[in-house]
Structure 1
């Protein structure tokens, strides 16, 4: 039973890779964990996320994202009892970088509060404890530059100056973000083909499953 965090900023292909990995395995073997928005009390449907994130103070957004991810990680052990592979779209590094990017691009920028420092530390602890109980893998879809992802966005996103400013900051924060201890790490190029990244991810997952069986 393996937990796989799929990490990367918007436009790197996280959801597409997860869908392919699910279809590469027999039915029920690999599943996607519940999306992050389900752990945000203010968001009842995914379409409501954009309005919430653009009308809510940046500090509240950052706290909410980190709290939601902590709850999500805490729920993962229950899934591993029923499925061999649990795929998590937007892992802890991605969510932490996103929270920091929201703070940095607020007008005026918001300072990191003690609550955010505490929540970040708690999230890292939760991931470390999860990795002690279950094999965990972090697959990073890495973009080396903003130009590598901008063309993969939708037309409305490319025309949204506020979102593009956030995305540029998100990428910088992701590149600089500390990595939680515990999960094994695999770095894949976001610009590589889906076929190549799927094959590399499957190989890494098989190795993680074997490590889990040897425990």
Structure 2
């Protein structure tokens, strides 16, 4: 007689590491079906998939904060998602956003402050450098939804299983990407953003880059 399927420990969530494992021991990610289908159909790319995931993350965090959600799944005009999330402390947001990312298998999140710059650190990161576009999309999607403005991101450091993602406006991030491609260490990139050539908003100063 064939054995019955035993689902016990078929899926293991390691929230401290932000890792999902099936019985084969390999890591897996949880992805919205609609977003994955769009990728399979060629209607989006890895970054677009990430942004869809990140937007859902922000929405779930808003629900956890007991904010009013409209029937469509979005915040009503009188209480936008960004305004609602901005009422929470940065510690609360990092805790909730990090918890959501961990449940998805994307890793363990913390935030580093470097002057006015903010770096989101996945340590460990649930995916390797081949999926950096996906990671960037997730960070951009959840922060753009949370702040009601366009947020750009760039991986500025990959050390072992750790990924550091700098967030900011498109001009500052374009500067960071250029320096990162030149091999500039991430601390020097952050220092340059605060230096005389380029301010932390990514605007050139007189005599700068």
TM-score when normalising by structure 2: 0.31
Name which one, 1 or 2, has greater alpha-carbon Rg: 2
* Higher helix content, 1 or 2: 1
* Higher strand content, 1 or 2: 2
Q: Which has the higher contact order (CA 8 A, sep 6+)?
A: 1
